[in-house]
Amino acid sequence: MRSGDLAARIGGDEFGVILSNADGNESAGFTDRLRSHLGTARELVNFTIGTASSPRDSTDPAELFRIADARLYEKKGFNHR
């Protein structure tokens, strides 16, 4: 992560990352680096990512969270909770 980025545990096994001033390419690069790094762990680590970008998806933080959460669950094959 870069200076100005923020990572936090949302709850349970869910985490959020805010990439400050990142475009789609930078967020994809972050995702690729995260997968690569976790792929070297001693135990298998599986994870699913849901993303949302401002201002493309919304400028409202709560709406960005809702969109990312919905995309996460869609990728997992579940309807949004």
pLDDT in tens, 31-77: 888 888 888 878 888 888 888 888 889 999 999 999 999 998 898 88
Residue 35, CA atoms < 13 Å, CB-side half-sphere: 9
* Predicted confidence (pLDDT) at residue 27 exceeds the cutoff of 90: no
CB 9 within 8 A of CB 27: no
Higher pLDDT, residue 42 or 80: 42
Q: What is the pTM of this model?
A: 0.75
Task: Quickly list DSSP for 32-81.
Answer: HHHHHHHHTSSS----------TTTT-S-HHHHHHHHHHHHHHHHT----
State yes or no: pLDDT of 80 exceeds 70.
no
